[in-house]
Amino acid sequence: MKILCTRDNLLNGVQMVQRAVPSKNALPILSGILLKAQNNRLHFTGTDLEMGIFCSTPVQVIEEGSAVLQARIFADLVRHLPDTAIEMELIPGTKTVSIRYNPSETSINGMDPEEFPVIPELDDNLTVTLRTQVFRSMVKQTAFAASMDENRPIFTGVLLAIDNKQLKMVATDTHRLAYKTGVIESSFDSAWQAIVPAKALVEVSRLIKEEDESITLVLTDNQVLFRFGDTSVISRLIEGQFPNYKQVIPSSCKTKIRLGTKAFTEAVERAALLAREGSNIIKIKAQDSALVITSNSPDLGKSYEEIDIEIQGEETQIAFNSRYLIDVLKVIDTEEILIELTGSLSPGIIRPMEAENYLYLILPVRTN
């Protein structure tokens, strides 16, 4: 392998795939980045066996070949390289790569490319394409609601369901649920659904560049591939049955509250400062044209917040985990929201005003 390239060529590729390289692993080869020079492009691959990221960048290939370099060392070196022409060469008969720039040179001992895990190529027969802006918005408003508890793998994933021209994303940790739909540009006849690790969706969303206009999902029974620009991310699917989310979403409510997103967010954040330690409980009471938010901690003090609202239906009060409220308020970008309630023991629903494609369900907290 021998190539000529620029620092930016290397930096872009390394930063992309390094996100898939595990910080701790039992297999030394997984700490490396696979470099493959072919057809005047340098291909980068990183994987933790659960998720793989690969991308490519244009370079001048003098001699085709492959090498595996320690991700951390290689990435740190590339960040400190001068902005000049760079020559990389695999020293014949070794696994060492020489990196030359101006009159200087650094050599990095590598690993055997034959030991690097093979990233499978997926059949393109089952694909879905949508705008990257739609995809990122869907991930932003759902993935945060997935669980972090690896002992319950089903809840660490996001349900992706495709039916004709619509993609649905659903995430829940059993205490709250986020649901969003988005329009897709291409579809296929049959319906498809699978559970994708939330971590993989978040990484894909972060890797998407502003110039990437669309993203394609290649689907199989046990893996999904996300393709955008010069980058692809492959992820395993989570096995198991996702809970029937439709059963827990109330079909009606007794109270509808319309209020400003910013005012409510700020009031909840202030009340959360004095919420009872460990439980984060805040109480909400809707009456007349005001929403009263209170919290109390024997050690810290108490908080009383009141904001203007428009209310339809019955006056009511309910208690929530303040963190679950703040999480969703951070991802809603409309000026007003609608809160739907049906008593102190029933789930609450939060919707952005004039956005029928998103809802957030939050379970109440029992209080004495």
Report angle CA 168, 171, 174 to the nearest 5 degrees: 140
**pLDDT confidence of residue 26:** 72
Side chain identity, residue 359 = L
Q: Is 316 inside a domain boundary?
A: yes
Mean pLDDT by 10 residues, the chain (368 residues): 95 94 87 96 95 96 97 96 95 96 95 91 81 96 96 96 90 97 80 93 94 91 93 96 93 95 97 82 94 90 95 95 96 96 95 93 90
Positive or negative: CA dihedral 309, 312, 318, 324: negative
Residue 367 belongs to some domain of the structure: no
Same domain? 166 vs 198: yes
What's the number of CA atoms in the CB half-sphere (13 Å) around residue 9? Answer: 21
Identify the domain containing residue 234 by its residue range.
127-246
Question: Are 133 and 222 within one domain?
Answer: yes
Assess if residue 31 is contained within a domain: yes
**CATH code, domain with 314:** 3.10.150.10
State the Cα–Cα distance between residues 163 and 37, nearest whole angstrom.
40
> How confident is the model at residue 278, as a pLDDT?
66
**Claim to verify: residue 108 and residue 154 sit in the same structural domain:** no
- Among 93, 115, 137, where does a domain finish? 115
Q: What DSSP string runs through 297-331?
A: ETTTEEEEEEEE-EEEE--EEEEEEHHHHHHHHTT
Task: Tell me which of 208, 228, 246 is where a domain ends.
Answer: 246
User: Which residue in 75, 13, 71 sits closest to 41, CA to CA?
Assistant: 13
For residue 277, the model assigns a pLDDT of 64
Question: What pLDDT was estimated at residue 354?
Answer: 86
Residues 318 and 241 in one domain: no
Domain assignment of residue 121, yes or no: no
Assess whether 135 and 240 both reside in one domain: yes
Number of alpha helices (DSSP H) and beta strands (DSSP E) in the chain: 6, 26
H or E element in which residue 193 lies: strand 192-197
Question: Are residues 181 and 226 located together in one domain of the fold?
Answer: yes
| Cβ atoms < 10 Å from Cβ of 18 | 16
Rounded CA-CA distance 188/185 in Å is 11
122 in a structural domain:
no
| pLDDT score at 192 | 87
The answer to whether residue 213 sits within a structural domain is yes
236 plus 253 within the same structural domain: no
Any idea what DSSP says for residue 359?
A: E
191 and 168, same structural domain? yes
**Residues 148, 109 share a domain:** no
Domain boundary among 200, 226, 246: 246
Query: Do residue 291 and residue 216 come from a single domain?
Result: no
Number of separate domains in the chain: 3
Say if CB 215 and CB 129 are below 8 A apart: yes
Q: Are residues 105 and 139 in the same domain?
A: no
In a domain, 358, yes or no: yes
For the chain, the farthest-separated pair of C-alpha atoms sits apart, in whole angstroms, at 81
pTM of the model: 0.92
